[in-house]
Amino acid sequence: MRAKLFSGIMFLLLSFSWASYSEPQPDKGTFWKDDFSATKLKDKLLFPKGWELRTKMGTPASSFFVIKDAEGKNILNAKSDKSTGTLLKNLSGKVDLKKTPVVKWSWKASVLPKNGDGRYSDKDDQAIALYIGTGRFWQQSVAYRWETDTPLNCEGNVSYGAGMVKVKWYCVRNKNNELEKWYVEERNIAEDFKKAYGFLPDDIAVSLVSNSQYTKSQAEAQVGWIEFIPAEKKE
């Protein structure tokens, strides 16, 4: 079992304790968005409220902190130096994929892990990746990744822990996309998840992952916001 299981994709989705912060939310299933406007001070840096940092024992931790963009808006910065880390948020009771099946987000990459390639276990590093998953013991997730050498639109399946943890991943961006440029992505996560696993989960968690542990390199990326929205009605 690859050790990365306990950092990037092992969510322990529904088993972690909540901090005292309780963010206001609309009725379940109507709309959810996080633009990192709510922060708290942690280790002298701004940390997004309602999120939890997960690291891997024995491996340096990637850092996640909130900074200002050129327009003065809060954005999340993910930075990795031969490290791995996951920023996780439990959306149980906040997002209903039957009502808001589309995930939309903005991101940009500043530094890509050298020779990173999600197709190979010894190069499986990404500057930034968005994971959406479910499960406590038997876990399934879908990942949208900003890769380095992995071909654009490439996809794959990975399992861990004797099949207890499964990931369906998609290469959404790679080294051929311009660095330091914002991109807005939109995916029907409900369709992708159901296609991968045959069902639609009632409870989900979302996480952001930044890795450079296998390539022994550096990576850095930013995320502007993440939202779950209704699908456009087909005519």
Q: Angle CA(84)–CA(95)–CA(99) in degrees, nearest 5?
A: 135
Distance CA 212, CA 199 (A): 32
- Region 164-182: mean pLDDT is 96
- Phi first, then psi, for residue 194 (nearest 5°) are -65, -35
3: helix, coil or strand? helix
Rounded (10°) CA dihedral 53, 54, 60, 64:
-30
**pLDDT number for residue 39:** 95
pLDDT for 13 equals 40
* Residue 12, pLDDT score: 39
Whole-number pLDDT of residue 191: 98
pTM of the model as a whole: 0.87
147: left (phi over 0), alpha (psi -120 to 50) or beta: beta
The span from the CA of 215 to the CA of 220, in Å, is 14
The residues spanned by each domain of the chain are 3-14+52-227
Q: Where are the beta strands (DSSP E) in 71-181?
A: 74-81, 84-90, 102-111, 128-134, 139-146, 155-160, 165-173
Q: How confident is the model at residue 26 (pLDDT cuts 50, 70, 90)?
A: very low
Among 220, 206, 173, smallest CA distance to 64 is for 220
Q: So what's the pLDDT on residue 18?
A: 31
Asked which of 27-31, 100-104, 202-206 is least confident by mean pLDDT, the reply is 27-31
| pLDDT band, residue 59 (cuts 50/70/90) | confident
Residue 234: which pLDDT band, with cuts at 50, 70 and 90? Answer: low
State the fold for domain 3-14+52-227. Answer: Jelly Rolls (2.60.120)
pLDDT for 129: 98
Q: How is residue 135 written in tokens?
A: 């499960």
- CA–CA gap between residue 129 and residue 210 (Å, rounded): 7
The closest alpha carbon to 117, from 88, 61, 158, belongs to 158
Task: Please state, as a whole number, how many other Cβ atoms lie within 10 Å of the Cβ of residue 221.
Answer: 24
**Mean pLDDT value of segment 23-49:** 80
Residue 154 in this model has a pLDDT that exceeds 80: yes
> Which has the minimum average pLDDT: 5-19, 117-131, 134-148, 201-215?
5-19
DSSP β-ladder status, 102-111 and 218-229: antiparallel
Residue 215's closest CA among 116, 148, 78? 116
Q: How far apart are CA 201 and CA 222, in angstroms?
A: 28
**In three state form, how does the secondary structure of 155-206 look?**
EEEEEECCCCEEEEEEEEECCCCCCCCCEEEEEEHHHHHHHHHCCCCCCCEE
CA 24/CA 34 separation, integer angstroms: 11
| Residue 173 CB burial class (10 angstroms; 0-12, 13-18, ≥19) | buried
Tens digit of each residue's pLDDT (9 = 90 or more) over 92-107: 999 999 999 999 999 9
